[in-house]
Amino acid sequence: MSIGIDELFDMLSWNSDEVTQRRGIELAKHVQCYSVFLQPHGLKHSKDVWENCAKILSEYPDEILKYCSLGMLEWLEDLNWPGAEIILDRLIKFADTSLLSIFIVHCVKEALACDQQSWLGNMSALLENESLKMNLPKDIYNVLYDRHNN
């Protein structure tokens, strides 16, 4: 059975019953363009689908997620956003930390330039990934370490 993305998002919405949401998550596993699940914004759906989109993304392997890990890091700007905690937990488990560290450097520099202290604090939780610590440049590591310990 094939459904359109709008119908899928209708199922994933927090306005749908739990059974429908679970069915939507299962159907989403067959979507080839995983980037549609990165904090979608539309006329009909937005934050109401983010939690389930995060659940869907968190099930993808690193080989797929490495292509959207920058968008996942941007999701961490506010841990109150639906799905942000799920994305954080998934990024902490990310194995390809050499690539992830490149994106973290970009996001840390952006957060510093925009004085987004909460985003820096949220990203600092990624230091729970021991392998990531080894791949981060010392200056970026220090910025996140300072936030992580405050």
pLDDT digits (tens, 9 = 90+) for 19-60: 999 999 999 988 888 899 999 988 788 999 999 999 999 999
pLDDT of residue 16: 97
- Stated pTM of the model: 0.94
Q: For 83, left (φ over 0), alpha (ψ -120 to 50), or beta?
A: left
On the CB side of 1, how many CA atoms lie within 13 Å of its CA?
8
pLDDT digits (tens, 9 = 90+) for 6-27: 999 999 999 999 999 999 999 9
d(Cα 113, Cα 62) in Å, to the nearest integer?
29
Give the helix ranges, DSSP H, for the chain.
Answer: 5-12, 18-28, 47-58, 62-65, 69-75, 84-92, 97-113, 117-124, 130-135, 138-148
Structure tokens at 43: 């006329």
Examine the pLDDT at 123 and tell me if it is beyond 60: yes
pLDDT of residue 101: 95
Confidence class for position 77, pLDDT limits 50, 70, 90: very high
pLDDT of residue 57: 96
pLDDT digits (tens, 9 = 90+) for 94-115: 998 989 999 999 999 999 999 9
pLDDT of residue 3: 84
Structure tokens at 92: 């902490």
